[in-house]
Amino acid sequence: MKKNILGKTGIEVTELCFGALPMGPLQKNMDLESCTEVVAYALKKGINFVDTAQMYRTYDPIQEAVKLTGINPVISTKSTASSYEEMEKAIDEALKSLDRNYIDIFFMHAARVDVDVFEVRKGALKCLLDYKARGYIKAVGISTHNVKVVELALSRDDMDVIFPLINFKGIGILGGSIDEMKGAIEKAAKAGKGILIMKALGGGLLLNEYKAAMDFVKNLEGYHSIAVGMVSKEEVDFNVNYFNGIYEEEKIRGIGMDKKRFIVVESLCKGCKSCQDACPNLAMEYDEEKKKARINQERCLTCGYCTASCPEFAIRAV
């Protein structure tokens, strides 16, 4: 599989990155053994890059897969921490749970945060930079859905890697258009930033248009890797084959890559609106008459962040 160097970081990664979100409790909620098996299979198939996050709760299967295979991949993780102390705890958790002496890439997890992100989270960023200086982190970056944040990050010396959202239908893009995000990504790459792409398949909404969606992203100027969520060996095979130049359209429906969606169980919803704050794409709405949350399916990225935010466990994947 093709490999690229992430900007000026010197970190070499496969063009396909294993996205660990879907197998965890925010989405499919697979057991530890099943998750470990899929990650280990992906590593054996040649994927050397795994993306996770503190909130995904998938550190354990990644660590177990590394131990099982003896293969040590590049690992990126993320935290929504805003203060120095919160980020320090997040870094410590990642190092211990992954059983590593360092984390390759640590992102500020800031999907919906606007251009004030570097001020709002200055404490967290200082912590990341301090730990990078001490050798516990190799590269620092930001994950964002916002065009303007990408444009801001590309001019900052403290940002090594940028993790932007883009897909050919513009699902989830904030602060600008598809073309503006494309332009920002190209400028960031020219500025020496590593570029890891998210939501090429629109969080699963574009699975039925897989080839068009992936071809669009692979034709972008400047990207280095594309994160794709996977939950089975069949999905790993399908994606690896595509990235190796083999597209098997007839297998799409047979490998479980069906469109998923989330619903609000009204009998459980207390109308606290915590899900609205968690949603990165403003898909969570509030029914004033019923005093219940509801999901705008046209905006939903099926990321599952809302499920983690709900104290009543009223949001379910179906």
Output the pLDDT for position 258.
Answer: 47
Percentage of the residues of the chain whose pLDDT score is greater than 90: 73
- Does 196 have pLDDT greater than 60? yes
Identify the CATH class of 262-317: alpha beta
Output the pLDDT for position 254.
Answer: 64
**Measured distance CA(108)–CA(266) in Å, rounded:** 33
- Does 96 have pLDDT greater than 50? yes
For residue 4, report the phi and psi dihedrals to the nearest 5 degrees: -135, 155
Single-letter residue type at 249: E
pLDDT, tens only, 261-311: 788 878 778 899 989 888 887 888 888 888 899 998 878 887 878 876 788
Instruction: Tell the burial category of 71 from Cβ atoms under 10 Å away from its Cβ (0-12, 13-18, 19+).
Output: middle
> By C-alpha distance, which of 155, 48, 142, 50 is closest to 87?
142
- Does 48 have pLDDT greater than 70? yes
**Measured distance CA(205)–CA(261) in Å, rounded:** 9
pLDDT-derived band of residue 94, with 50, 70 and 90 as boundaries? Answer: very high
Say which CATH topology domain 3-255 has.
TIM Barrel (3.20.20)
Mean pLDDT for the chain overall: 92
Single-letter residue type at 78: K
pLDDT-derived band of residue 75, with 50, 70 and 90 as boundaries? Answer: very high
**Measured distance CA(59)–CA(62) in Å, rounded:** 5
Structure tokens at 120: 């709002």
Structure tokens at 196: 């890891």
Q: Where are the chain's structural domains?
A: 3-255, 262-317
| C-alpha distances out from residue 160 to 93, 141, 234, 237, Å | 22, 5, 33, 31
pTM as predicted:
0.89
Structure tokens at 262: 């989330």
Cross-strand bridge partners of residue 284: 295
- Does 76 have pLDDT greater than 70? yes
Cross-strand bridge partners of residue 17: 227
Q: Where are the beta strands (DSSP E) in the chain?
A: 3-5, 12-14, 16-19, 49-51, 74-79, 103-109, 137-144, 161-164, 194-197, 225-229, 262-264, 284-287, 292-295, 315-317
